[in-house]
Chains A and B, each alone.
Chain A
């Protein structure tokens, strides 16, 4: 891919809006097309080309750098590439599993606190609750800040909101 992902999505959305949707027959089908726009807008806020995709390109660059290096003494002043790919980057699936395990632990803590509150120092229980609530607020705020503006009017009516 030679374009940035955000620009690619902007282009797809503009094409759908200007060229495709006006020619679609039927409210439901147009609503679904607006659904595609909405989901693309969400992807734009959360996605980038994947680590694995870029890593493969870096490894190729590392290879060409390694292959050229022995020739350096004969190529005085040549701008030889000297690229080193990072040893490893976590896979998205690994990060997702870590997040889910962490959230699972927070769920367990919330349930445990409710079951054991009576025997805990009131101040400690209140502090745990306050810290957990701050965590929940932070996660919700981030999730919302990386979500596109809802398009339920368009999706249900199959027409641009007026």
Chain B
């Protein structure tokens, strides 16, 4: 059994047990809002490899009966976690044009639930997945509507004036010149932590990225995992962009490189199964107010493929360490070589 951080010796962390989770969360929220709050019900969502997501029913919490609790477990894909990047960015974005859940409270103190967590608005909607519901693609007017929202939300995020918010502190040390290389450094450090064996293709790609890093035209809030599967849809419209755990400041083209990955096309030639690359770029450029340089996009496509390969390595590592028994993890790990082959082709095309 995992040692509970902050729990009493021998007990599972509070977030692992519904009764203790309800008690601890209610106690914390009561203290936070200055009145008695009780957690009536907790329902865990089965999806996800990283943060645990639960729907919680609240009583006594001002103006909110249903909310979403996100907990970053010590055995999650990208652990160790902090709730603060997601909480701070979503707090800052509350007044923006980006459709995102409102956030209420957050803490990294393991004494409360045994892991970092935050509480946010429950936004209504379903999540279309990259591999499609039963392999079906998004069609017609629904596709057009979702494409419009998807592109508009991304442009709004990249236009967002983070300097006028508390996120300004994130800008320390990030420049137009080093934004790309900082991300390469961050992901290389993760690669060194996660890889179970030497991967020459990862070295080949890292060296290429270091030799071809672009200067960012703009420094923006970057979602970090902007794609089909990370938004909620309600009646053909995007009701919220989700999963902000990789949010950071950087070159906005990074989000395009990730969204353009073939893995998120839902079996279609379209970006995230929604719009052609040409259409996506022209609409994005018009709304973001800046052109997308081909060299930058090429760089971030290769970078995104490498990030994806590293994420698959994280899955392999989690499973190998015995922290997770979810068979989707080793299944993800089988995709390292197909991604490496795509990187090889991308480097050939760039030569």
Complex CA–CA separation, A137 to B346 (angstroms)? 12
Decide: B327 and A133 in contact? CB cutoff 8 A: no
Chain B's closest residue to A106 (CB) is B200
CB distance from A87 to the nearest CB of B (A): 29
Please provide the chain A residues from 1 to 51 with a CB less than 8 Å away from any CB of chain B in the complex: 27-28, 31-32, 35-36, 38-39, 42
- Chain B residues lying within 8 Å of A137, measured Cβ to Cβ, are 341, 344
Chain A facing B: main interface SS: helix
Decide: B203 and A32 in contact? CB cutoff 8 A: no
Decide: A153 and B328 in contact? CB cutoff 8 A: no
- Chain B residues lying within 8 Å of A139, measured Cβ to Cβ, are 337
Pick from B131, B207, B330, B344: contact of A111, CB under 8 Å: B207
Query: Contacts A136-B201, A150-B335; is A39 near B131 (CB within 8 Å)?
Result: no
Query: Does any Cβ of B come within 8 Å of A65's Cβ?
Result: no
Complex CA–CA separation, A137 to B131 (angstroms)? 26
Query: Contacts A27-B46, A38-B327, A162-B135; is A107 near B335 (CB within 8 Å)?
Result: no
Query: Contacts A159-B134, A161-B134; is A39 near B327 (CB within 8 Å)?
Result: yes
Complex CA–CA separation, A32 to B327 (angstroms)? 6
Query: Does any Cβ of A come within 8 Å of B133's Cβ?
Result: yes
Query: Does any Cβ of B come within 8 Å of A156's Cβ?
Result: yes
- Chain A residues lying within 8 Å of B326, measured Cβ to Cβ, are 32, 35
- Chain B residues lying within 8 Å of A42, measured Cβ to Cβ, are 334
Complex CA–CA separation, A27 to B131 (angstroms)? 16
Q: Which of A54-62, A69-77, A78-86, A140-148 contacts B (4 or more CB under 8 A)?
A: A140-148
Known: A152-B131, A153-B134, A162-B135. 20 other contacts (CB 8 A): A32-B328, A35-B326, A35-B331, A38-B331, A42-B334, A103-B200, A106-B198, A107-B199, A114-B207, A133-B204, A136-B344, A140-B201, A140-B344, A144-B337, A147-B334, A147-B337, A150-B331, A150-B335, A151-B331, A153-B131
- Chain A residues lying within 8 Å of B199, measured Cβ to Cβ, are 103, 107
- Chain A residues lying within 8 Å of B327, measured Cβ to Cβ, are 32, 35-36, 38-39, 155
- Chain A residues lying within 8 Å of B347, measured Cβ to Cβ, are 133
Chain A's closest residue to B229 (CB) is A156
CB distance from A128 to the nearest CB of B (A): 11
Query: Does any Cβ of A come within 8 Å of B132's Cβ?
Result: yes
Decide: A103 and B46 in contact? CB cutoff 8 A: no
Chain A's closest residue to B336 (CB) is A143
Complex CA–CA separation, A97 to B132 (angstroms)? 40
- For the A-B complex, the count of residue pairs with Cβ-Cβ distances under 8 Å equals 97
- Chain B residues lying within 8 Å of A153, measured Cβ to Cβ, are 131-132, 134-135
> Can you sample 27 A-B contacts with CB below 8 Å?
A28-B46, A31-B328, A32-B328, A35-B328, A35-B330, A36-B327, A39-B330, A39-B331, A103-B200, A107-B198, A107-B200, A107-B202, A132-B200, A136-B200, A136-B201, A140-B201, A140-B341, A141-B341, A144-B341, A147-B337, A148-B334, A153-B131, A153-B134, A156-B131, A156-B328, A157-B134, A162-B134
Chain A's closest residue to B130 (CB) is A152
Decide: B338 and A144 in contact? CB cutoff 8 A: yes
Complex CA–CA separation, A37 to B328 (angstroms)? 11
User: How many chain A residues touch B (Cβ–Cβ < 8 Å)?
Assistant: 40
Decide: B344 and A155 in contact? CB cutoff 8 A: no
5 tightest Cβ-Cβ pairs between the two chains A and B:
A35-B327, A143-B337, A28-B46, A103-B198, A114-B207
Complex CA–CA separation, A106 to B201 (angstroms)? 9
Q: With a 10 A CB-CB cut-off, give which of B202, B327, B338, B341 has the most chain A CB atoms.
A: B327
Question: Interface code A89-128, partner B: CB below 8 Å = 1, 0 otherwise?
Answer: 0000000000010011011001101100000000000000
Decide: B204 and A110 in contact? CB cutoff 8 A: yes
- Chain B residues lying within 8 Å of A133, measured Cβ to Cβ, are 204, 344, 347-348
Complex CA–CA separation, A115 to B341 (angstroms)? 24
CB distance from B313 to the nearest CB of A (A): 14
- Chain B residues lying within 8 Å of A107, measured Cβ to Cβ, are 198-200, 202-203
Complex CA–CA separation, A156 to B45 (angstroms)? 13
- Chain B residues lying within 8 Å of A162, measured Cβ to Cβ, are 134-135
CB distance from A115 to the nearest CB of B (A): 9
Decide: A111 and B341 in contact? CB cutoff 8 A: no
- Chain B residues lying within 8 Å of A114, measured Cβ to Cβ, are 207, 210-211
Decide: A155 and B328 in contact? CB cutoff 8 A: yes
Complex CA–CA separation, A162 to B46 (angstroms)? 22
